[in-house]
Amino acid sequence: MKYVVCVPDGCADEPVAELDGCTPLEVAHLPNLKALAARGEVGRAAVIPEGMPPGSDVGNMAIFGYDPATFHTGRAPIEAAALGLRLRPDQIAYRCNLVTVTDGVMTDFAGGHPSTEDATKVIEALQEELGGDGIEFYPGVEYRHIMVAPADWIDATCTPPHDLSDKPIVLPEGPAAPGLRRLMDASATVIGRLGLDANQIWLWGQGHQPEMPSFTSLYGLDAALSSAVDLIRGLGVLTDIEVVDVEGMTPGYDTDYAAQLDCALDALADGADLFIIHVEATDEAGHAGDVAEKVRALENWDRHILGGLVPALDRLGSWRLLLLPDHATPLRLKTHTSDPVPYLLVDSQVAGPGGTYTESAVASSPAVPGHELMARLVRR
């Protein structure tokens, strides 16, 4: 038996005026998803436990089959693991975004989407000029980076920058806030000399690095994943899931969907039991409020991943598939919500009740805890 988990990040949405009151899932041309839903089980999953922040860290941890209420300590320490950073007990990590703030408004939480090469130069300059006394800056991908700090810097309330899109900024509060604000202010001078659209850093998502049991020890399967996002890759590192690099894979609209499919199929053919395919494009479109790009990203998922996935899995033998996003990213809000999302379970050997994979179609279904779906997929 082979298992595939498909994560179209943030694909769930709300009715959109530009789409005549429909959601992107309802208007996109998705023949392969429609066919899978007709033969499987469609329902609603609470990927964000009550009272927890609706972030990709929480939602993807649940999709991986780990209860966030037990294992979640913060977003940044997960991403730090993707960079090969193993934090000591006396260290914490902060997510360090490159952002653009104009007249006190968060005009771009992604700082103009700098190239990783250009962003790395910025982080290196920040380390040279602002690092020291336990503060260390590490380059990640595009606008997403990491700052390591002493453990006593943990006590601060920080707002994710994507929650502030086109809104007045909300600066950190709490005992550690003065140090954070000092670094954020000082970063403007450093970044201003380097010619980026970004004009400062934004620190948030702090925490100690979690201790998580391996995926194999919990589910008895050898697993692998592909994602261009350090957060997802970090979850792989922390759970001993193999992280596979894919040429042409990006966290943006231009990612090579077909290459990720080929990577998954190669891994499964070479002995992996389970493969997780994560694509960020739908979430990026939601944050940008770009209706057309969100529809296009869904259609790319359907055409370039799902279209070739089922025939290839059939050639490998029996298979099961789980598809769901880690949270909703409504175009109207340009940020995440805690609303339950549609899920799809398909078994190649057992016909399900069938259904329609849209938000409205599952609205009356009871919401199952998201972290329980992995066990249902592999029937453990």
Q: Which of 299, 327, 297, 256 is nearest to 57 (CA)?
A: 327
pLDDT tens per residue across span 65-100: 999 999 999 999 999 999 999 999 999 999 999 999
Q: How far apart are CA 318 and CA 33, in angstroms?
A: 19
Q: How far apart are CA 199 and CA 168, in angstroms?
A: 16
How far lies 193's CA from each of 120, 187, 199, 258, in Å?
14, 10, 9, 39
**225 alpha carbon, distance to own chain's centre:** 13
pLDDT tens per residue across span 42-70: 999 999 999 999 999 999 999 999 999 99
Q: Which residue reads 């693991």 in tokens?
A: 81
To the question of pTM greater than 0.95 for the whole model, the response is no
The whole-number pLDDT of residue 71 equals: 96
The whole-number pLDDT of residue 107 equals: 97
What is the rounded (10 degree) CA torsion for 288, 331, 255, 82? 80
pLDDT tens per residue across span 265-291: 999 999 999 999 999 999 999 999 999
Mean pLDDT across the chain: 97
Is residue 145 scored above 90 in pLDDT? Answer: yes
Is residue 191 scored above 90 in pLDDT? Answer: yes
The whole-number pLDDT of residue 47 equals: 98
Is residue 319 scored above 80 in pLDDT? Answer: yes
Strands 2-8, 319-323: pairing kind: parallel
- The predicted model gives 188-214 an average pLDDT of 95
Q: Which residue reads 């922390």 in tokens?
A: 238
SS (H, E, C) 147-169: EEEEHHHCCCECCCHHHHECCEC
CATH number of 2-72+210-378: 3.40.720.10
Asked if 251 and 141 touch (Cβ cutoff 8 Å), the reply is: yes
Is residue 380 scored above 70 in pLDDT? Answer: no
Each domain of the chain, given as residue ranges in start order, spans: 2-72+210-378, 95-207
The whole-number pLDDT of residue 195 equals: 87
Q: Which residue reads 């980076």 in tokens?
A: 145
